[in-house]
Amino acid sequence: MNNISKNQNTSLGIVGLGAFGQLAALHLAQYFEIMAYDPSPDVAKLAKQLGVHLTSLHSVSQADVILIAAPVSSFEQVVSEIAVACKPGALVIDVGSVKVVPSEIMRWLLPDNVDIVASHPLFGPQSATTGIKGLKIAVCPIQGKRHARLVAFLRKILGLTVIVTTPEDHDQEAAVVQGLTHLIAKVLLRMGPLPTRMTTKSFDLLSEAISMVQHDAPEVFEAIEKANPYAETVRRRFFDLAASLSEELEAALRASPNNESGH
């Protein structure tokens, strides 16, 4: 990745042209020769618009940098196919919402002669509509030493705020940050339609947060709540505390002088 902003000799293979794969192609096209693989028959037109060459998973796996933007459900199969085709010295990066399990899969299946970085861009198409500069990305070094050059590229060239962490620390924090955001959004959407006229600034911010995640693919919510090993504990604690608060309010209402029998 040295001087990567000045030439396009480094090839980038994107596995998965979903929402984030498209976003990555859009922002990385000026720095890489990009090819992509996606099994969906509907991506050909989209790839042409992005200027991305669609090819086989085997060909994508032979790129200098391989970006895995595949769903959690197919992640292990994808990595196993990359493992038999990738070349020595390749840099393999994933961009999923959880890090512990994907990191273990990549460490277990990929050869020792490739560098591995688990990453999580803490943004998506909704929050990147005005650009990605200043947005956050978590980077977890897994194997090799090229993560330092990757971090420099992300910071200096793309202008991202990089958080270097471990898969375990990432998932512990993400279980709260993402897990609760999506849970609250799901509940409030089921209560809808939500008010739009007489709203407070705090409610407007809450509505904005909901709008940023409500159109995420179902696989994103499933990954956040099921693939994160810390999500269940956070989820149970949230609902337990909500139930406890409800009981306190019910008890306070029963004890209120305005709630006497017959009134």
Name the residue ranges covered by the structural domains of the chain.
4-165, 170-255
Whole-number Å distance between alpha carbons of 255 and 258: 9
pLDDT at 223: 85
pLDDT exceeds 60 at position 5: no
In the chain, what percentage of residues exceed pLDDT 90? 76
pLDDT exceeds 60 at position 32: yes
Q: CATH class for domain 4-165?
A: alpha beta
pLDDT at 242: 95
pLDDT at 260: 60
Q: Which of 3-17, 29-43, 76-90, 162-176 has the lowest mean pLDDT?
A: 3-17
* Stretch 132-148: mean pLDDT: 97
pLDDT exceeds 50 at position 6: no
Contact 240, 190 (CB under 8 A): no
CA 98 to chain centre: 7
- Provide CB contacts within 8 A for 190, sequence distance 6+: none
pLDDT exceeds 60 at position 14: yes
Residue from 225, 194, 218, 197 nearest 207 by CA: 194
Choice between 199 and 72, residue whose per-residue pLDDT is larger: 199
Three-class DSSP category at 239: helix
Residue from 182, 184, 171, 172 nearest 242 by CA: 184
Q: Model's pTM, two decimal places?
A: 0.86
Three-class DSSP category at 61: coil
- Provide CB contacts within 8 A for 211, sequence distance 6+: 126
pLDDT at 54: 95
Q: How many CB atoms lie within 10 A of CB 68?
A: 24
Average pLDDT, the chain: 92
Question: 156-159 long-range contacts, Cβ below 8 Å, gap at least 24?
Answer: 157/4, 157/5, 157/31, 158/27, 158/132, 158/133, 159/132, 159/133, 159/134
The band of 133, judged by pLDDT with boundaries at 50, 70 and 90, is very high
Q: How many CB atoms lie within 10 A of CB 114?
A: 20
Q: pLDDT tens digit string along 100-129?
A: 999 999 999 999 999 999 999 999 888 898
* Stretch 44-63: mean pLDDT: 93
pLDDT at 75: 95
Residue from 222, 216, 137, 224 nearest 177 by CA: 224
Whole-number Å distance between alpha carbons of 247 and 66: 51
Whole-number Å distance between alpha carbons of 2 and 241: 50
pLDDT exceeds 90 at position 90: yes
